[in-house]
Structure 1
Amino acid sequence: MTGASAPKETDAEQVETANTAFYEALERGDFDAVSGLWLEDGEYHEDAEISCVHPGWPVLTGRGEVLRSYALIMANTEYIQFFLTDVHIGVAGDTALVTCTENILSGGPAPEAGEELGPLVGQLVVATNVFRRTSEGWKLWSHHASPVLAESDDSESDETPS
């Protein structure tokens, strides 16, 4: 086939690519890549600061606070891997919403110098990522992540059905 071009990615595919790039940059600990995936404050609208909620953290607003939080997380996380499931993408004009479950495997620094990686911990988190279309592609406007509480066996009722 000569002269044929590859089909153009749909908006949803472009958003999925941007969302995947965000998690891959976190896994690599690539602060510059993470920074480049976020909107500049006021880029979409003069009053539109970026925002982020990490599990158990207060709301962070503004590029400085949000990026500082990622620098802190990366500095204190030796290993992290995300397995995304239940990914749903919706696009409305220049705004996109991604919801997903982050199945996270992470480990901190070794307990003592010279030892191997600290213990690995698994965590289940649901996340909402809001993207805006820019001249440079889709950029994160907001990230909100919340832990999924595991159900315990105690949650079942002890009552006998009548």
Structure 2
Amino acid sequence: MTSAPTDSELVELANTALYEAMERGDQTAMERLWLNDEYFDVVCVHPGWPVLRGRREVLRSYALIMASTEYIQFFLTDVDVQVAGDTALVTCTENILSGGPAEEDGALGPLVGQLVVATNVFRRSGGGWKVWSHHGSPVLAGGADDEDVDGADGADGADGTGPEGPAQPSP
């Protein structure tokens, strides 16, 4: 006999569904996943983008990203789910592999890897747990074991690029 999934498990499933919809380029699924409530306006911050407010603007941004991304895959790590009543907070690291347009011979375009830390906020609604807010921030510095993280090499990041160069926007 199996027990009913906990709220934490349901939220984690909803979080995974968000990334799977992106990978498939499924706008219909994306629309089902985002909160549609007259009292709570959705908010989204993609890395390098301004704050997007409102369901229409947020969903349009995902449509644009999915239409211009030939290939994308997310490997989520460090996933942490916290539930408080009808609100849930998920933090995770998005290990992203994405590719550009196919080459003339049909081969997959160049692949690029990227790390983004994300915070996803969910609200419980009549249709289950829905995304209320997404905030993604690129990881610009390496781990604590990397050299020159403090800018001792002269690249202090004053120009906004940091030692790794400018951040690349991602979903």
Question: TM-score, normalization: structure 1?
Answer: 0.86
Shift of 1:35: 1.0
Equivalent of 1:7 in 3, 7, 23? 3
The answer for unaligned runs of 5 or more in structure 2 is 154-171
Look up the equivalent residue of 1:84 and give its one-letter code: L
Shift of 1:115: 3.2
Shift of 1:83: 0.4
Identify the residue that residue 38 of structure 1 maps to in structure 2.
34
Equivalenced residue count is 149
Look up the equivalent residue of 1:80 and give its one-letter code: I
Identify the residue that residue 12 of structure 2 maps to in structure 1.
16
The answer for unaligned runs of 5 or more in structure 1 is none
Shift of 1:153: 3.5
In structure 2, C-alpha distance between the alignment counterparts of 1:78 and 1:61, rounded to whole Å: 26
Query: Aligned in 2, Cα 1:109/1:12: closer, same or farther, shift over 3 Å?
Result: same
- Asked whether the 8 Å contact 2:122–2:130 carries over to 1, the reply is yes
- Tell me the secondary structure at the aligned position of residue 148 of structure 2: helix
Identify the residue that residue 110 of structure 1 maps to in structure 2.
102
- Tell me the secondary structure at the aligned position of residue 86 of structure 1: strand
Shift of 1:114: 4.4
In structure 2, C-alpha distance between the alignment counterparts of 1:8 and 1:41, rounded to whole Å: 26
Shift of 1:40: 1.1
| 2:90 pairs with 1:127 | no
Structure 1 residue ranges (4+ consecutive) displaced by more than 6 angstroms after TM superposition: none
- Asked whether the 8 Å contact 2:94–2:117 carries over to 1, the reply is yes
In structure 1, C-alpha distance between the alignment counterparts of 2:33 and 2:9, rounded to whole Å: 16
- Asked whether the 8 Å contact 2:141–2:149 carries over to 1, the reply is no
Shift of 1:155: 3.4
Identity %: 70
Identify the residue that residue 73 of structure 1 maps to in structure 2.
65
In structure 2, C-alpha distance between the alignment counterparts of 1:91 and 1:18, rounded to whole Å: 13
